[in-house]
Structure 1
Amino acid sequence: MIRTVFGLVPREYTSLTPKLVAAILAQALCQALAYVLLVPVLEALFGGDTDRAWFWTLWLAAAVAGVVVLSYVQAVVGLRIGVGMQHGLQTALGDHLNALPLGWFGTQNAGTLSRVVVENVREVQGLIAYLLAKMLTGVVVPLGVAVGMLFVDWRISLAMLLAAPALYLVNLWANRSYSAADERLHDSASEANARVLEFAQAQPVLRSFGAVGAGNKALDAALDQQRKAATGMLLASVPGLMVFSLCVQAVFLVLVYLVVGEATGSTISVAAAIALIAVSARFIEPLNQAAQLGTALRSAVAAAERVSTLLAEPTLPQADTPVTPGAPSVVFEQVSFGYGDGTSVLSDISFTVPAGTTTAIVGPSGAGKSTVLRLAARFHDTDSGRVVVAEHDVRDQPSETLLGQLSLVFQNVYLFNRSVLENIRAGRPDATDAEVRGAAEVARVDEIAHRLPDGWDTAVGEGGASLSGGERQRVSIARALLKDAPIVLLDEATSALDPHNEAVVVRGVHQLTRDKTVIVVAHRLATIAHADQILFMEGGRIVERGTHAELLDLNGRYAAFWNERSRASGWRLEAAPA
């Protein structure tokens, strides 16, 4: 358990970990010694032996001074590790997320990731900075007192030594159902976070269909599930805490009973009895504190396990040897791929896109068209076969080299909540303002900037929420134009745009793909007809290939697809007959 937490301490702080543990243990032992020394001090005072009282008081003062100094040391070291741990862990998680397959992010929701990276990391930091000292003190101080009591009264010491493991077992029993309840709370909280984010981003859609407030069943259900999980957590922890507290108080009563019995039997003096009762109270206090912190400790350990699990997610193997890209061609050689659930998405796909040519991929939904683009960009590794980009296997290229050859324009455009200029500059961070504006003008983003309140410096909202779908596509085209990569992967998304935006985006695409190697998942008839090569996919396979004229002459599935699209493009509303 604790090993998992210490395993997350950044390397530059691992040398401080033994110092932290040593300081906590030494502070706890000094505290236990101070409690035990109360017995001879009180006994000497009540007995009127001033010299002996001063002797033990000096030892008591030394023990208290040790507690003060060591508490300061462990607090400083713990806080230093904790703060460094938060920064180091979040940096490590960021680096790890950057190394994960791009396709991995499609299976995760923002609620889960933000909870792990922010909340769980904060819980782990708190464990090192605060909880560890309190938990170790809650164990070491009672044991130290019990051992120290051997030099005062072995019967009381034996009772304490027997009580400690018994209370530990009661604590284990009381919290046996906590882990499952904590996991349910984590899952429900992640789901609620995701639904709240979705609710905020999808207001236009929700309002247009009246799915707001009580009508938004997904959000309501997620929040209700989180409430039930929180209640379940309470029901799982509170009864155990109450049972443990009762057992602790029972132990204290037993100790008092033994002390009073010995005092009345003249085995020990009244002064010693008073001191022993005080020490027994000090013996009980850390145990109660440890029990109260037990829930927080288990929650922090569970958080550490989630962070460790995320850090253990397998990354894509990265090539260490630099390569020099060749001609900007793309080759798929007998590629098969599935998403891990046993369902095949692509089966034995082979084709070549020569440098400077355009290949259009068409076919019904679910045929695997977009997956081809993602494999070319190495969102995933193939199950078999290989993908060759710029004359090198994508697995043999460092990610920076591979992605440097590609401009990706997909259907779902994500914009950062920053200015229009900054969103375009993401295509090439070292570009000058003139280059950014030049790319923006080609994609006609200048039209958008001129009507925004702060012009080019206007923040576009989370995900580009303040822009329309067509306007976001224009920014995406400008970003790709600025990058000016030799290979363009284009999931053409103009079918849902209004005529003006479609015309602007199409002009931008033409400029983007001029003299480039292009693979396009095509929706527009003009794009399909002018491609150098057309691949018709169905069921994860290429069932027809050729030029537009060749495939029409074949009069097969592509011809049927073309005819259907041609009829659909000329649809119009007509008045119903009277």
Structure 2
Amino acid sequence: MQHDESCQESSLKTPVSPSDDASEPSSKLGFAYLLGFAGRKRWLLYFGCALSAVAMLLSFGPYICIWLVARDLIAVAPDWTAAENLALYGWFALFLAVVSLVLYFFALLSTHACAFHTASNLRKACLSHLMKVQLGYFDTHASGALRRVIDGCAGSTEGLIAHKTPDTAGSLAMVLGLVVTLFVFDWRMGLACLMSAILSIACMFAMMGGKNAHFMQRYMQAQVNMSKAGTEYVRGIPVVKVFQQTVYSFKAFHDAIIEYSEMAEKYAVKTCAKPQVTALTVITGVAIFLVPVAIFLAPGAQAEGFAAFAGFIADFAFYAIFSAIIATAVTRLMFVMEEFEISSDAAKRTYDILNSPILAEPEHPETPFVYDIAFNHVSFRYEGADRDALSDVSFEVPQGATVALVGPSGGGKTTAASLVPRFWDVAAGSVRIGGIDVRAIDTDELMQSIAFVFQDNRLFKKSIYENVAAARLDATREDVMSALAAAQCDDILAKLPNGVDTVVGTAGIHLSGGEKQRIALARAICKQAPIVVLDEATAFADPENEALIQKGFAELARGRTVLMIAHRLSTVVGADKIVVIDDGRAVEQGTHDELVAFGGLYARMWEEYQHAALWRIKSDASVQDGAAVVCEASALEGGAR
């Protein structure tokens, strides 16, 4: 995208990716990417995996001891008392089991320490990066979805490193040790036992490989979609109750549930049913492979004499005992494959957050000394849109003046206002404050220079005082009280139990929309910023609150540069200039009187606004049953109804 030639591009710094893997497609990321957040604690994971592998190999010991006992008993049958070393085998089996458990305990201790550190770093990295992204990013990425992604990815990473990775190391050691051990005594019976593991693993790959390899990603995305839609549904419950609607009124939530249900059912029934049943059958039924081989080999062993046959029986007992380990090893591998699918999805989602565009900080920041605003041939398009939201828009807001943006809904008014504080950056042209491109001004300084009052202002769950003082770190109590008085908040404080120190949102303390707007207005006044951006700040106010808010606006605007967005045209009549934005273009500019006299779009909007303002509701006496009402417009002065 090209910037205005007058923009000092040399002073604009390109964002640097927070990840060393920035050049790698997110679809190829996996566990290694997540492990990068472990930092210097990574050695704990390696150490824990080594301990887990040793512990798993030692866990073979009790099985070998059981085989030794069986071998000695068979060798002296039927004189069992002649068997020696049975007690020694028992103590040795106990010793190996205890050592295996101790090593596994310290393995998990190490991996948990690494996991907690990794999950903490992942959360910090994501939150730190989100603090740097353009504020407009949060308009297109729901906070609930971001929270679920960050918490979910950190949680799955923590579980993966703390438990699944050491279990994977142990499982691999188990499989390798198992393969070696199975071929020690009789390779034919060993191969028979191994056949069940091979068939079971093949079934697992049928479930999780090929076209099903990315199922976990689709599964996690379906959960995110349900979370987003569910949040919107819960917020809309009052509407559901008032209008006696059902969940089907919220189609997005209903569709998200159905999509998740159908996807999970299809995967479980059509994809997993047969392979899962087959895998469980063969892995738990090793005897169906071992017994036929043993029957085939038995005559030959018997022909070699009693000692050979006794050894054959002992070997068969060994493989029968060891077959229990095969089921454990394969089951662990199955869960490991699933966890690594989850880790791949977590890595992709984390990567997407950490590689979202951040505000480009200027290499050589400039400081404005005057605070006029100028839009110079500005164009802007939202990501994924097929047309510009703003196209070649130019207008000026002189220092100390009030300029209003009006126009049809969706025309681009809010988009234009959001470019001043760099909620988004322009695609072409420039937005300047005091003659300096806003992209060449230090971000902190730019934010300190602008105060905002939005349509829907949110208050912190803190005291009124803390909510207002948040605008300026060095604000004194006198500054806060003065701002509250200027914003016409005295009546609000008078009815609160603890006055300005009352905590909003607790113990039944709730403010109306208009009252919240006045508190937000006080916050803007307290900031003492030279530029004020107002986005339909009276949208949720009743007539009484609107009158008080207008008085607060007068105080806020005194001596400041004001850019305001309004739908109620009565609030912009006294503006120094009105800019009419329609379909992304500035189609008209001038004072109220000039635009009305011009007879263009603004004049038509003004006429329609006057008609709408004079509508009233009356009862229709001719209707006997029910409360029929009729809306009519009073005659305008000098005109017909």
For the superposition of Structure 1 and Structure 2, which TM-score range results when normalised by the shorter chain? 0.7 to 0.9
The answer for the alignment partner of 2:586 in structure 1 is: 542
Tell me which of 349, 357, 363 is aligned to 1:314: 357
Higher mean displacement: 499-508 or 293-302 = 293-302
TM-superposed CA distance for 1:537, in Å, is: 1.6
Please state whether the residue corresponding to 2:452 is helix, strand or coil.
strand
* In 1, Cα distance between equivalents of 2:509 and 2:297: 78
1:248 maps to 2:283: yes
Tell me which of 247, 265, 289 is aligned to 2:300: 265
Name the CA shift for 1:180/1:19 in 2 (closer, same or farther; >3 Å).
Answer: closer
Please state whether the residue corresponding to 2:416 is helix, strand or coil.
helix
The answer for the alignment partner of 2:153 in structure 1 is: 120
Give, as a single letter, the amino acid of the residue that structure 1 aligns with 2:323. Answer: S
**Equivalent residues of 1:487, 1:518 under 8 A apart:** yes
TM-superposed CA distance for 1:552, in Å, is: 3.6
* In 2, Cα distance between equivalents of 1:75 and 1:575: 76
Higher mean displacement: 427-436 or 381-390 = 427-436
TM-superposed CA distance for 1:169, in Å, is: 2.6
1:89 maps to 2:132: no
Give the fraction of aligned pairs with identical amino acids, expressed as a percent.
Answer: 30
TM-superposed CA distance for 1:174, in Å, is: 2.2
1:517 maps to 2:561: yes
Name the CA shift for 1:331/1:85 in 2 (closer, same or farther; >3 Å).
Answer: same
The 5 Å alignment of 1:489-568 reads 489-525=533-569, 527-568=571-612
1:287 maps to 2:320: no
The answer for the alignment partner of 1:168 in structure 2 is: 201
The answer for the alignment partner of 2:44 in structure 1 is: 16
Please state whether the residue corresponding to 1:529 is helix, strand or coil.
coil
- Residue by residue over 1:285-341, the C-alpha shift from the partner in whole angstroms, topping out at 9 and shown as x without a partner, is 221343356545534543343333333333333335554343222222221111132
Give, as a single letter, the amino acid of the residue that structure 1 aligns with 2:603. Answer: A
* In 2, Cα distance between equivalents of 1:430 and 1:242: 68
The answer for the alignment partner of 1:353 in structure 2 is: 397
**Equivalent residues of 1:356, 1:518 under 8 A apart:** yes
Name the CA shift for 1:215/1:326 in 2 (closer, same or farther; >3 Å).
Answer: same
**Equivalent residues of 2:31, 2:343 under 8 A apart:** no
Tell me which of 188, 209, 212 is aligned to 2:243: 209
TM-superposed CA distance for 1:511, in Å, is: 1.3
Name the CA shift for 1:239/1:5 in 2 (closer, same or farther; >3 Å).
Answer: farther
The 5 Å alignment of 1:410-489 reads 410-452=454-496, 455-461=499-505, 466-489=510-533
Name the CA shift for 1:273/1:282 in 2 (closer, same or farther; >3 Å).
Answer: same
TM-superposed CA distance for 1:195, in Å, is: 3.7
The answer for the alignment partner of 1:149 in structure 2 is: 182
Higher mean displacement: 553-562 or 84-93 = 553-562
**Equivalent residues of 1:36, 1:148 under 8 A apart:** no
The answer for the alignment partner of 2:446 in structure 1 is: 402
Unaligned runs of 5+ in 2: 1-28, 77-81, 302-307, 623-641
Tell me which of 25, 39, 48 is aligned to 2:53: 25
**Equivalent residues of 1:35, 1:145 under 8 A apart:** no
Unaligned runs of 5+ in 1: none
* In 1, Cα distance between equivalents of 2:577 and 2:409: 20
* In 1, Cα distance between equivalents of 2:246 and 2:197: 55
Name the CA shift for 1:36/1:349 in 2 (closer, same or farther; >3 Å).
Answer: farther
Please state whether the residue corresponding to 1:520 is helix, strand or coil.
strand
* In 2, Cα distance between equivalents of 1:315 and 1:20: 37
Give, as a single letter, the amino acid of the residue that structure 2 aligns with 1:186. Answer: M
Give, as a single letter, the amino acid of the residue that structure 1 aligns with 2:56. Answer: A
TM-superposed CA distance for 1:125, in Å, is: 1.1
TM-superposed CA distance for 1:442, in Å, is: 2.3
TM-superposed CA distance for 1:565, in Å, is: 2.8
Give, as a single letter, the amino acid of the residue that structure 2 aligns with 1:194. Answer: K
TM-superposed CA distance for 1:158, in Å, is: 4.2
Tell me which of 231, 234, 241 is aligned to 1:197: 231
**Equivalent residues of 2:455, 2:539 under 8 A apart:** no
TM-superposed CA distance for 1:220, in Å, is: 4.8
1:100 maps to 2:143: no
Between structure 1 and structure 2, the one with the greater Rg is 2
* In 1, Cα distance between equivalents of 2:240 and 2:87: 78
Tell me which of 100, 109, 112 is aligned to 1:76: 109
* In 1, Cα distance between equivalents of 2:468 and 2:213: 46
* In 2, Cα distance between equivalents of 1:111 and 1:264: 70
Name the CA shift for 1:273/1:179 in 2 (closer, same or farther; >3 Å).
Answer: closer
**Equivalent residues of 1:256, 1:280 under 8 A apart:** no
TM-superposed CA distance for 1:157, in Å, is: 4.1
TM-superposed CA distance for 1:503, in Å, is: 0.7
Higher mean displacement: 478-487 or 236-245 = 236-245
Please state whether the residue corresponding to 1:99 is helix, strand or coil.
coil
The answer for the alignment partner of 2:348 in structure 1 is: 305
* In 2, Cα distance between equivalents of 1:535 and 1:319: 30
**Equivalent residues of 1:42, 1:53 under 8 A apart:** no
Higher mean displacement: 322-331 or 137-146 = 322-331
* In 1, Cα distance between equivalents of 2:498 and 2:246: 31
Give, as a single letter, the amino acid of the residue that structure 2 aligns with 1:277. Answer: A
Name the CA shift for 1:259/1:14 in 2 (closer, same or farther; >3 Å).
Answer: same
Please state whether the residue corresponding to 1:344 is helix, strand or coil.
coil
Name the CA shift for 1:284/1:494 in 2 (closer, same or farther; >3 Å).
Answer: closer
Scaled by the length of structure 1, what TM-score is found?
Answer: 0.87
Give, as a single letter, the amino acid of the residue that structure 1 aligns with 2:105. Answer: Y
* In 2, Cα distance between equivalents of 1:347 and 1:528: 24
Higher mean displacement: 393-402 or 486-495 = 393-402
**Equivalent residues of 1:121, 1:304 under 8 A apart:** no
- Residue by residue over 1:470-515, the C-alpha shift from the partner in whole angstroms, topping out at 9 and shown as x without a partner, is 1221122122112221111111232552111101111111111111
Give, as a single letter, the amino acid of the residue that structure 1 aligns with 2:467. Answer: N
Higher helix share: 1
Give, as a single letter, the amino acid of the residue that structure 2 aligns with 1:105. Answer: F
Please state whether the residue corresponding to 1:545 is helix, strand or coil.
strand
The answer for the alignment partner of 1:327 in structure 2 is: 370
The 5 Å alignment of 1:326-405 reads 326-340=369-383, 341-405=385-449
